[in-house]
Amino acid sequence: MMAEPMGFFTDTTVCIGCKACEVACKEWNQLPAANGGVRPLSGDSYDNTRHLDGIHWRHVKFIEQFSADRRQGRWLMMSDVCKHCVRAGCLEVCPTGAIIRTEFDTVVIQSDACNGCRDCIGACPFGVIDINPVSGTAQKCTLCYDRMKVGLEPACAKACPTESINFGTIADLRKMAQARLGQLQHAGESRAYLYGADEGMLGGLNSFYLLVDKPEVYGLPPDPRLPSRNLKSSAGWSMLGAVIVALTSLISFRNRGSRDV
């Protein structure tokens, strides 16, 4: 029986950048440390994780915007994760069938079936997936499928001290997000909006966000699309090329001038 679609609603306005979600994710999923635990400092940010990859399935982005003289500035925090798209590019291209949609409407990579071809990495519109160097397979957030199966909430949402990360049914989360959006707009925060909360973006993101600046500022694509959008026209142009090559060969190989015997 299909369970109700589950997901995350992340309210970035209350994220304090504590990275408890990152730690809880690595702890629960037993993700290895990079470089033997010696992580080079970024040098230009208080964030040293920098991006999601095969061993970082949660990443708290620090958007540090300061004027040149450092007199003016602001911090934006956003706990980034797989969006568990309703129409998922990674699932679309995976040749092995390792990427599946679960009964919770989430997208999971089965590590025992993945052969590390990496097609899904380039297909993801959000740059979420990467290779786990220990397993040699593509990996990303599973929305703690193992915890959900036994009625527990994902480790990151459990650890979040400010309730920036909210876990629940998509229907409930959308109501919660609309209420919070209304509250912020009523308080004068007119820049607030929801990113990926409706079907317009890849059929809906099962992990969606409340943001207060353009998506690009948070490192999110303004117009994420499925990789298959290019399939028909690319294939059509290629077939035309094959026909032209065949015709060129017909002309070149048939006509031999004076030696045409």
Beta bridge partners of 74: 65
Please select the residue that binds another protein; options are 126, 167, 208, 209, rule is CB under 8 A.
126
Residues 6+ away with beta carbon under 8 Å from 256: none
Beta bridge partners of 65: 74
Dihedral sign for Cα atoms in the order 130, 133, 134, 136: positive
CB-based contact 21:165 (threshold 8 Å)? yes
Please select the residue that binds another protein; options are 3, 113, 171, 179, rule is CB under 8 A.
113
Structure tokens at 129: 């997936």
Asked whether position 252 contacts another protein by CB under 8 A, the answer is yes
CA atoms of 204 and 195, how far apart (whole Å): 9
Q: By CB under 8 A, which span of 68-76, 92-100, 150-158, 167-175 interacts with another protein?
A: 92-100
In angstroms, give the least distance from the CB of 188 to another protein: 30
Residues 6+ away with beta carbon under 8 Å from 136: 116
Please select the residue that binds another protein; options are 2, 68, 186, 237, rule is CB under 8 A.
237
Q: Is 114 left (phi over 0), alpha (psi -120 to 50) or beta?
A: beta
Please select the residue that binds another protein; options are 3, 33, 179, 250, rule is CB under 8 A.
250
Asked whether position 68 contacts another protein by CB under 8 A, the answer is no
Of residues 8 and 126, the one with the C-beta less far from another protein: 126
CA atoms of 79 and 73, how far apart (whole Å): 20
Please select the residue that binds another protein; options are 131, 176, 212, 217, rule is CB under 8 A.
131
Please select the residue that binds another protein; options are 78, 129, 148, 160, rule is CB under 8 A.
129
Site residues, another protein (CB under 8 A): 51-53, 89, 92-98, 112-119, 121-131, 135-138, 216, 219-225, 227-228, 230-231, 233-235, 237-238, 240-242, 244-246, 248-254, 256, 259, 261
